[in-house]
Each structure stands twice: as C-alpha cells, then as structure tokens.
C-alpha cells in the first residue's frame, strides 16, 4: 500500500472513531450505563469526564490508573466499557503507528488493542495500565508475527521443548517504543520525539547537529529536555 494511502486509511479510521465518540459521549442512557459500573466515586457529566478521570489529557496519577483499571475490569463483560478504554488508548496507539511507520496497520493495531483490553488482568499487572495495553497491542501487531515467521525457519530438537510455554521476553527496542508512545500521549512535543529518533539513528549529538544544521549545544539542550521528560514518564507510579 502506498504511504499516502496508508495515511488516509489511518486518519480516516481515526476520524470515524472520533465521530462515533462524539455521537455517544453525552447520551443520557450511555452515561447512566457508565455510572452503573461504579469505577469512581467522583461525578462525571459525560464520557469525556470519565476519560479525564482515567487519565486522558490529564496528569497521570495513581487515582487515574485505578479508574482505568476498574474500566478494564468492566470491559471484560461490557463492550461499552471496552470502547471507553479504547478511546483512552487512541493517542498512544496513533503514536505507535507513527513511530513504526506502518500507517496501513492501524486497523490491525486497533483490533489487537480491543483483544488486549478484553483479556487484560489488572490483578496481575495493576501498574501503568495504559502503557501496558498499548505495548500488548503493538507486540501482537508488529513483533509477534515477525517472531513466528523467524521461528518457522529454525529447526528445533523436540527433546529440548518444554511442556510449559516460554516467557515472552520484551526487548529494549519494544520497551523504547512503548515509552515513546506513552510520552507522546502524555504531551511530549513532536520535535522532541523526532530528536530522539535522530539520536537513535545517528548515534551522537554532533552527527544530529550536522544533519539538522544546528549547533551541538542546541541538540544537547533539546536532548536533555526530552530525556528529563522521558524519565518522568518511565518512573511515574501509574499510567
């Protein structure tokens, strides 16, 4: 698929989701149903208010993570709750697509996110739920298929196989992608994200400065600013 077609597909689907959200977010019956889940003691007038309590566009706090976790619990049996959680994850999912450069995979990523939401166990992974769900969806969409293809090309002695499934090992790249996606959803400017990409690709501040035609000091200052923000995201107590 041409890149331009992929971008049209991504943003068209994103626009449809936003349009759907605008249609349902203030419906009295929908809001009443959301209140019936009892995910928070704080009042909310519509689904946007509930999203804010779950950390959408607001400070990431343990309370917001707790509300999101209660929503995820409700999502196991209620599709509307799943839709609310999906709306909460959309900024991170879109950032993941942009980071990976696979615009045409947005629909597949959404499907993986939906499955991740419906199967997530908050009792096993209660912290940083938003970041964990985005990572789970990205792993299922981008990483797992590649590993399956690679595994199919390797001969394995059956005597070395174990009855128990191997633990999934998340590599540094996947961790970085998840961190950048969460930081983007948390408000990290696009220029800072682009600088991080340049640094990963070029390997040094001086090389990036030469490519961008700015001073090395400018790059270092921007790097330190981006690093400080990423550190805040990485060590925050909740997603």
pLDDT tens digit sequence for 209-225:
787 788 888 888 888 78
Distance CA 72, CA 43 (A): 19
Distance CA 234, CA 3 (A): 32
Exposure b/e, 21-51, CB count within 10 A at least 16 = b: beebbeeeebbeebeebebbeeebeebbbbb
pLDDT, position 199: 72
Element (H, E) at 151: helix 144-151
Is pLDDT of 155 > 90? Answer: no
Give the residue with greater pLDDT, 178 vs 112.
Answer: 112
Of 28-32, 155-159, 160-164, 207-211, where does mean pLDDT reach its minimum?
A: 160-164
Is pLDDT of 149 > 80? Answer: no
Record the pTM.
Answer: 0.60
Percent of the chain residues topping a pLDDT of 70: 68
Read off the DSSP letter of residue 112. H
Percent of the chain residues topping a pLDDT of 90: 37
Distance CA 97, CA 181 (A): 9
pLDDT digits (tens, 9 = 90+) for 102-142: 656 788 888 899 999 999 999 999 999 999 999 998 888 88
Give the residue with greater pLDDT, 57 vs 7.
Answer: 57
CB–CB of 99/179 below 8 Å? no
Residue where the block lists tokens 């090992």:
169
Categorize the per-residue pLDDT at 177 as very low, low, confident or very high, splitting at 50, 70 and 90.
Answer: low
Element (H, E) at 45: none
Distance CA 136, CA 190 (A): 23
Is pLDDT of 236 > 70? Answer: no
pLDDT, position 184: 67
The residue count for the chain: 239
Domain ranges of the chain: 3-151, 188-234
């Amino acid at each position: 698929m041409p890149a331009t077609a992929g971008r049209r597909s991504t943003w068209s689907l994103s626009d449809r989701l936003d349009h759907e959200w605008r249609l349902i977010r203030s419906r009295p019956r929908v809001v009443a149903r959301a209140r019936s889940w009892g995910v928070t003691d704080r009042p909310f007038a519509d689904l946007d208010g509930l999203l804010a309590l779950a950390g959408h566009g607001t400070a990431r706090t343990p309370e917001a993570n707790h509300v999101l976790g209660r929503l995820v619990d409700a999502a196991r049996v209620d599709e509307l709750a799943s839709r609310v959680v999906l709306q909460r994850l959309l900024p991170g999912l879109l950032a993941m697509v942009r980071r990976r450069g696979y615009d045409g995979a947005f629909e597949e990523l959404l499907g993986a996110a939906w499955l991740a939401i419906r199967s997530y166990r908050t009792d096993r992974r209660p912290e940083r739920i938003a970041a964990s769900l985005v990572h789970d969806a990205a792993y299922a969409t981008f990483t797992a298929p590649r590993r399956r293809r690679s595994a199919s090309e390797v001969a394995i002695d059956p005597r070395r196989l174990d009855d128990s499934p191997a633990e999934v090992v998340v590599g540094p790249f996947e961790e970085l992608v998840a961190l950048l996606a969460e930081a983007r959803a948390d408000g990290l400017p696009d220029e800072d994200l682009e600088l991080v990409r340049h640094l990963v690709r070029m390997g040094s501040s001086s090389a990036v400065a030469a490519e961008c035609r700015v001073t090395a000091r400018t790059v270092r200052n921007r790097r330190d600013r981006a690093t400080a923000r990423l550190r805040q995201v990485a060590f925050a107590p909740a997603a």
